[in-house]
Amino acid sequence: MSKKLGKATIKADGRKFDSYPGASYDPGGTVREARVGHTVHGFSESEREGSIEFEIDYDETVSITQLRNIAGATVTFEPDAGPALVGRAWWVAEPPTWTDGSESRVKIVMKGPALEEVGAANG
């Protein structure tokens, strides 16, 4: 029985983020749209950016300004099952949002060119 994805590690320019469960990614890349007339004629292609969304603890080590200013970063999304994904020239796409209280967290949304697999999964 093969291992299934349970958690992921996220890094930006070497800084590791201790994210909460629920991190998500869209690798981005080629999007194909059907070309339809009286019949299906084929498809056209366009590109979509990749994205990563995750939450981290908000504490004295977190600078919202530093997070907001991340741009041109190399990011990695390392799932515990399967190959790691790397994106280059990524940025924080939205101002980080945070909530206060006992579960004080910061939500980070990063985007950039399509993510690429670093290594192949062993089948």
The 10s digit of each residue's pLDDT in 25-52 is 899 999 999 999 999 999 999 999 999 9
Cα–Cα distance, 9 to 15 (Å, whole number): 11
> Residues 16, 9: contact at Cβ < 8 Å?
yes
For residues 7-33, give the mean pLDDT: 90
Average pLDDT in the chain:
88
Rounded average pLDDT over 86-94: 96
Q: Can you spell out the DSSP letters for 74-87?
A: EEEEEESSS--EEE
CA separation for the pair 50, 87 (Å, rounded): 8
| Confidence check: pLDDT of 119 > 80 | no
pLDDT digits (tens, 9 = 90+) for 56-71: 988 888 888 999 999 9
Domains in the chain, start-ordered, CATH in brackets? Answer: 8-117 (2.40.30)
